[in-house]
Amino acid sequence: MSHYHAIVWLDHLEAKIFHFSATDADGISINSHSPNRHLHHRAGTRTGNRAPDDHDFFDAILDALEGAQEWLIVGPGLAKTAFVGYVHAQRPTDIRKIVLVETLDHPTDGELVRLARKRAPVVDRMLQP
């Protein structure tokens, strides 16, 4: 069951997606299957590169967001901005659905849903004419 709002918490290894309303929330977890487990840039390396983004992971997140019209994207590192960039490049018609991008460490599922319910009405008020 999908709702109008959804929140995505993600890092490079895992995503938690909750479709929610004021009284209900349905959640799913998706794991990246990328073989690249080393994700951080290290100073002094010859290439200075980090692991590439897992596009299959991002596609699975997009599939899980199906039906939601407003997306709140949160997470602790750069994965959230990489995901937003992927949506912009691959699904430009969906970029308008992203109404909030915010840094958030590692909440419990309950904390994530509470945050989502708190942020969604604020976003809704900002978007109304």
Give per-residue pLDDT as tens, 53-76: 889 999 999 999 999 999 999 999
The partner residues of 9 in beta bridges, in order of sequence, read: 16, 74
> How far apart (Å, rounded) are the C-alpha atoms in residues 32 and 83?
13
Of 49, 48, 73, the residue nearest 62 (C-alpha): 73
- For residue 56, the model assigns a pLDDT of 94
Residue spans of alpha helices (H) in 33-108: 55-64, 79-90
Number of domains comprising the chain: 1
Domain of residue 46, residue span: 5-127
CATH number of the domain enclosing 31: 3.30.420.60
Q: Report yes or no: 60 and 66 within 8 Å, Cβ to Cβ.
A: no
Q: What is the pLDDT of residues 2-43, one digit of tens each?
A: 689 999 999 999 999 999 988 899 999 999 987 655 445 555
